[in-house]
Amino acid sequence: MGILHSCKKGDIPVLTTAVITDITTTSVLTGGNIVSDGGSEITSRGICWNTTSNPTIANQRTLDGNGAGSFISNITLLMPGTYYTIRAYATNRAGTGYGNELSFVTLAIQTGEVDDIDGNTYKTVKIGTQTWMAENLKTTRYNDNTVIPRVTGNLSWSKLISPAYCWYGNDSSTYKPDYGALYNWYCVSTGKLCPSGWHVPTDDQWTILSTYLGGEDVAGDKMKEEGNAHWKIPNSGVSNSSGFTALPGGARVDGNFVVIGSTGAWWSVTENDTVNVWFRDLDDDVVPLLRGYIDKSTGLSVRCIKN
């Protein structure tokens, strides 16, 4: 009789925990190896973890199939700079067995600063292989020192086919410090909007960000600022574990100022067609980072990414 059935019927599984690799700010790769199924079928297996010792399936865990042998487990949704312990587990009809305990610390968020030509200083954050501004852009000049036209009138804005910026509600004292400016895509398309060495992200670069954070369906809550200082209620379940610190700067649509406090929307440079451009959107009452396209005349926020 082989090793997988060497124990008498009714024993719990015997297993080991795989070496930890690929530690990031929010995830880690590991797994396990079930060397004995205890004489009955393995109905569930995976990794359990917590921030103290002796994690069990009563704590957080992955579900990585069934059956004996080795398996790989990708643990996500972790907090940056945090100590964790893990154990592989396997369950059969006799109960749950655990592998050896291992520990690790997720990487801390790497931050920095960058200045624009107006003298505004922005926090920056490294997320995976990318470095992003952690604040919305608020410059009134291109990086070659050319002044960007400011357009206040609703009708004038709605008819624009040339670069322009504005402050939400045409009120810089209230909205500029936290939310930055709103720019139309003609402004973005000049390639001169961000500080030297930075640029407005492509649609693909936004996708790289959301993929690193676990996909569009879960990325939003890792990107939004916590609490209700800026986001309207509910904004629940938010961790900002990426450090992106997204704020709901609203938009200017057909010349009208809308959705401040409930929506943040940011340009890409990638056109969908001659009229529309891809952008990203976060809302106060949903988890996903939403991808869509919008008319070039719309006023949206900008987050720059490092070259």
* DSSP string for residues in 189-227: TTS-SSPTTEEPPPHHHHHHHHHHTT-HHHHHHHHBPSS
pLDDT at residue 286 in the model: 85
**Cα 127 from Cα 32, distance rounded (Å):** 28
Q: Quick one: pLDDT at residue 94?
A: 95
Q: What is the largest CA-CA distance in the chain?
A: 83
Give average pLDDT by consecutive 10-residue segment, the chain, 307 residues. Answer: 50 97 92 96 97 97 96 91 97 97 95 98 96 98 98 96 98 98 98 98 98 91 94 90 96 97 98 97 92 97 98
Nearest in space to 120 (alpha carbons), one of 103, 97, 137: 137
Angle separating helix axes 203-212 and 216-223, nearest 10 degrees: 80
CA separation for the pair 134, 280 (Å, rounded): 15
Nearest C-alpha neighbor of 49 from the set 97, 104, 93: 104
How far apart, in whole angstroms, are the C-alpha atoms of residue 91 and residue 74?
19
The pLDDT assigned to 287 comes to 87
What CA–CA distance (Å, rounded) separates 128 from 109?
10
Q: The tokens of 63 are what? A: 């579900």
What's the pLDDT at 285?
87
| pLDDT for the residue 6 | 47
What is residue 5's predicted lDDT score, i.e. its pLDDT?
47
Is 3-105 CATH 2.60.40.10?
yes
Torsion from C-alpha of 241, 244, 246, 252, nearest 10 degrees: -160
Coil, helix or strand at residue 187: helix
pLDDT for 9 equals: 56
- Domain range summary for the chain, segments of one domain joined by +: 3-105, 110-306
